[in-house]
Amino acid sequence: MAHAAPTPGRPMARTTITPDIFSERTHKMARYGIPVVLGLIYGLWAAANRRDGGEITGWNVLFGFVTAIVFMVLCIAVAELAPKLKRELHSLTKSAFAGAAIGFLYSQTGASVLSSAGLGLVVTAGVFMVFFYRYYTHEDGEGNPLPR
In a domain, 131, yes or no: yes
Of 51, 83, 115, the residue that ends a domain is: 83
Domain region containing 33: 24-83
In a domain, 7, yes or no: no
In a domain, 73, yes or no: yes
Confirm whether pTM is higher than 0.95.
no
Asked if residue 36 lies in contact with residue 72, where contact means CB atoms within 8 angstroms, the answer is yes
Asked if residue 100 lies in contact with residue 119, where contact means CB atoms within 8 angstroms, the answer is no
User: Which pLDDT tens digit goes with each residue over 59-94?
Assistant: 999 999 999 999 999 999 999 998 888 888 989 999
Handedness of CA 32, 134, 90, 71 (dihedral sign): positive
Q: What is the number of structural domains in the chain? A: 2
